[in-house]
Structure 1
Amino acid sequence: MEGLGVSSLQSLQALSALLSQEDDDEEDKKVGPSAQLGPGHIGPAAKAGKEVTTTAYTKRNTKDIWCEEEVAEASHYEDLTDPRPQPDYEIILKQSVGTEDLFLGMSRKDPSSMCCEAMLVRVQLPDTKAADVVLDVKETFLDLRTPKYKLGLHLPHPVHSQKGKAQFYSGKGQLEVTLLMNRPMDSINLQ
């Protein structure tokens, strides 16, 4: 066991002190400062008088477990100060099924969502004109804005954002957005 110096001995004593504790209230009284180690104590010790700064992570003094920069795409669409209500919507998964699939079972398709090729998002927009609808589709997020409604929808499956189509039915006050799903293994699984 060459290379075990004073720091290893102190670490073993600190570990022993941590493991021998029976009551959390007594722990603060018995344990010395060397036993109160955390993730920041891993690695070589910082030299005294030299300030260490990292650009990748800046420590915050709050108890937050995440910050706004870490939140995934499309979170900026969820504006809590916007008073517009969210319209009613439904998501329907679609698949192309032919007679060879239905009667003969020649392909490997089944009724599960893994065999679906498209997603239909049907949104109820009463008292809305087609010209008032602003629609933005990302790979995992659909953003719909009208003067009366707003909808920020995280999609259950990734989609091809440029290969979809939208149709507005003014008589029903309904928008139907058909999006093709983007799954990397579809060319292998659905043949």
Structure 2
Amino acid sequence: MECFGASSVQQLQALSSLLSTQHDDDDGGDEDCTTARAGLGPGHIGPPPKRDQEVSTACEKKNGKDIWSEEEVAEGSQYDDLADLRPQPEYEVILKQSVGTEDLFLGLSRKDPSSMCCEAMLVKIKLPDTEATEVVLDTREKFLDLRTPKYKLGLHLPHPTHSHGGKAQFFRETGELEVTLLIKRPMDVINMP
């Protein structure tokens, strides 16, 4: 078995130059066509990009000292505390939708089982050995922050939620907190009949 070394690299380069100059054997009319095809790649498909517009949007910055823009920072990152050693409780996120008989049996509405037709989000959080008075809960549009003396949960929500209309209920016998949040969608008028 031959080991790949400098000689094999030279052989590959020689083969490459041989293949790129192979048009000499053809009749003279195809020489320009062959060399033109060799220079084309997937980036040459379609209209050429507009250089002026790309440069202007790439260079726009509010402050030259900013490392990133505010849109790039996840909401709720200010609650991340690496020095806090409290464990994260078990939780489950369930999407809910209101379904009536006209949806179930007659199919009159445009609702389907997808997450796009869901109106609410239910977050079930298991908090064993915790009293309801010990729970501190704060919800934002895309972040849920829960603090107890024993547990800490900073949850980035999968969908934006409304600031009003949510509710929380604590079940002492099971040690579970259920937080229901209404989902905010930009096209609610179209998505929900």
Q: TM-score scaled by structure 1?
A: 0.65
Shift of 1:73: 2.1
Code of the aligned partner of 1:103: F
Q: Note the alpha carbon deviations across 1:27-66, whole angstroms, 9 max, x for none.
A: xxxxxxxxxxxxxxx89xxxxxxxxxx970227xxxxx75
Distance 1:169 1:56, change over 3 A: same
Distance 1:125 1:113, change over 3 A: same
> What count of residue pairs does the alignment treat as equivalent?
135
Match of 1:155 in 2: 157
Shift of 1:158: 0.5
State which of 57, 68, 75 in structure 1 corresponds to 2:64: 57
- Structure 1 stretches of 4+ with a deviation exceeding 4 A read 65-70
- Are the counterparts in 1 of residues 161 and 184 from structure 2 also a CA contact under 8 Å? yes
Q: Distance in 2 between matches of 1:67 and 1:104?
A: 49
Asked if 1:187 is matched to 2:183, the reply is no
Match of 1:125 in 2: 127
Match of 1:102 in 2: 104
Shift of 1:184: 2.1
SS of equivalent to 2:116 = helix
Query: Which one has a larger percent helix, Structure 1 or Structure 2?
Result: 2
Q: Gapped runs of 5+ residues in structure 2?
A: 1-54
Q: Note the alpha carbon deviations across 1:65-99, whole angstroms, 9 max, x for none.
A: 75999623210111111000000000000000011
Q: Gapped runs of 5+ residues in structure 1?
A: 1-41, 44-53, 60-64
SS of equivalent to 1:102 = helix
Q: Distance in 1 between matches of 2:191 and 2:120?
A: 15
Question: Which structure has the larger Rg?
Answer: 2
Q: TM-score scaled by structure 2?
A: 0.65
